[in-house]
Structure 1
Amino acid sequence: MRIEPSWRTGVGMALILLLIVGWSVLAVTGAAWVSGLPALVQALYYLLAGIAWILPLRPLIRWMSRRD
């Protein structure tokens, strides 16, 4: 049995790419503000910025895998 990808797959992949690009722009903008702070604060910022973009992916992937 062959399962054809739904339209949600293509839209979801485009949204994931937009999310990554948008989050990158926000992270770089925030990096300019954080650059003058102590190294520990910078490390915490980069840790959180590197992980937080994953949070919106769960509902998006769930939506993508839903049947019509």
Structure 2
Amino acid sequence: MGLRARRAIASVCILAFLTFYIWAVIAVGGHVPDHPLATLAYYGLAGTLWGVPLLPLMSWAEGKPFLKRTKG
């Protein structure tokens, strides 16, 4: 599969994932206690952690192995 096709597929997958992720964060955010520090911690983590599941997809889109294992 060519690099352009990988990037196109990855772009669509990222948009789909982020749509679901934002919906889930908002839905769960309604159950967070009304304390300002709890809200800050929740949305701070949610706003930071969205990229972690996308790292393997972005690595695949560029044609590079995500976790390069070396023998030794």
Question: Shorter-chain TM-score: what band?
Answer: 0.7 to 0.9
Q: Please list the CA deviations of residues 4-55 of structure 1 after superposition, one character each: whole Å capped at 9, or x if unmatched.
A: 7431111100011011111100110011111x43110110000001011110
Greater relative contact order (CA < 8 Å, ≥ 6 in sequence): 1
**Corresponding residue for residue 48 of structure 1:** 45
Aligned CA-pair RMSD? 1.7
Whose helix proportion is higher, 1 or 2?
1
CA contact (8 A) 2:3 2:63 kept: no
- Aligned pairs, number: 63
- Aligned-pair identity in percent equals 25
The normalised TM-score by structure 1 is 0.82
Detail structure 1 runs of 4+ shifted over 6 Å in the superposition: none
- SS of residue paired to 2:34: coil
Amino acid at match of 2:45: L
Taking structure 2 as the reference length, the TM-score comes to: 0.77
Gaps of 5+ in 1: none
